[in-house]
Structure 1
């Protein structure tokens, strides 16, 4: 054999083909297995698609592992957790004041109807349904109130906005958990006018309270004066009655005055005595 002649190799092409075919079969089986298993993630519901069409005869799939027909069926995850949507919009009040309103909507897809929501709207239901509904409702409600009423009647305004937004979203199987007005902004000129009015009302209220206080104090002083006068009158009447009684007693018994002196004596002998030994002036001995 020549030194340049290559050695012959015996290759069994049949075995090679079988090996390749086995690999292909394994790949196909793995692909079919992967396609037949669908996972619905936590906080989601699964929408079952049959040849890309929503199968509304089947309720939304719960969280976890699900087996479907490979390549024919597919599962789309729809989040049902509470989400937050914040929208700032401008409108005009009934008295044509420009009002900037910021509204926060906490919402979620109805868990038992996500298949209908997906079929009618799709995944971007926030941009297609919620955003335009909030903008329209806020403009509509703010136009019903004067700018000042938007401040003084804020709970009523919030209730109107919440009721209307809920009514707009419910038909699309979107639930609202809470709706809040997070901010009201007016033009600088109007804000200054409101501050001036509030300040004037506060001053008027203070003046009214001061007037009431003065009136109450005056009535108190009047009643106090009447009480003192009545007490003086009663005291004078008592003294006059006492004098009358003493005079009447003296008229009936001249010794009555001496008896009164004896009743008032404390038993100590003074340095100076009156007629008959009756104490007249008591002088301290120490």
Structure 2
């Protein structure tokens, strides 16, 4: 009986040892395998000292000795809302954002120097971003800042790129998300814009009237020119007709002068066969009526 109990105790200890060893084996196996997500770089630390960086995928490490932290290398966005003043000393609140990316090949150096992205943002990126923005905003008047954001954005971006060129990151782009000005100034801008719109509308109306008047003048000029052309044509026709008639008379006179018999021929052609009924005496007596007198 005692032998049987002892045997059971030995078996129990044996199975327990096997179970513990199996469990340890599983822990070792799972502790030596890890993955890095896409868009991240894995920083392998040995006893908390950064040793190397690995790309996304499946990897192996020394259990209980190595640990892994990830650094995102996709585009990140930082936003800042800060108070400043315009060129004319008007208070303004600007909401700006910057998109930036960690240089993949320098992720290990960034981790060694700053301990991760959060520390880098708080200690390096954000202060320089605020400084670059506050350096640019006072160069612009409020109206110009609203109407020409692109110029101010470009200047902020240039400043920040210059500030960050010695760090293992890339500044992608900057945006001014919002500009908050005093309500009274906003109202004055709206009033000014309304006046500009009214002035532009009035100018358009005057230009339209000018064009209509010019069109009427051109139409009247065209009509007048048409009348002149018609009158000139009629005058030319009359002149040409008179010249033709004069030429005909002159030709006829010349013909009569050159050949007097034409007169006699013409009279003969036009004679109706009757003798003249009155003659003019040589003595200057009145014309005598030679017709037969009848009572």
Match of 1:142? 137
Distance 2:194 2:50 in 1: 62
TM-score, normalization by structure 2: 0.72
- Partner of residue 41, structure 1: 37
Number of the residue aligned with 1:218: 213
> Which residue in 1 is equivalent to 2:155?
160
* C-alpha separation in 2, matches of 1:161 and 1:76: 33
CA–CA distance in 2 between the matches of 1:126 and 1:93?
Answer: 27
Q: Residue by residue, what CA displacement relative to the aligned partner does 1:154-211 show, whole Å, maximum 9, x if unpaired?
A: 1111211223333444533233333222222211111111112222222333333334
How far apart are the structure 1 equivalents of 2:84 and 2:220? 63
Give RMSD over aligned pairs. Answer: 2.7
1:175 maps onto 2:170 in alignment = yes
Q: Map 1:42-81 to 2 at 5 A.
A: 42-55=38-51, 58=52, 60-81=53-74
CA contact (8 A) 1:110 1:174 kept: yes
| Ranges in structure 1 where 5+ consecutive residues have no aligned partner | 1-6, 255-286
More helix by share: 2
Question: What is the CA-CA distance between 1:102 and the residue it aligns to?
Answer: 1.8
Structure whose CA Rg is larger: 2
Q: Is residue 115 from structure 1 mapped to residue 108 from structure 2 by the alignment?
A: yes
- For structure 2, the 5+ residue unaligned runs are 250-295
Look up the match of 1:263: none
Aligned partners of 1:40 and 1:77 also within 8 Å: yes
State the shift of 1:92 in Å.
0.9
Deviations 1:100-141 (A, max 9, x none): 222233333222222122222224134444433333322221
User: Which 10-residue stretch deviates more, 224-233 or 39-48?
Assistant: 224-233
Correspondence for 1:277:
none
TM-score (ref. length: structure 1): 0.74
Matched positions, count? 245
Aligned to 2:280: none
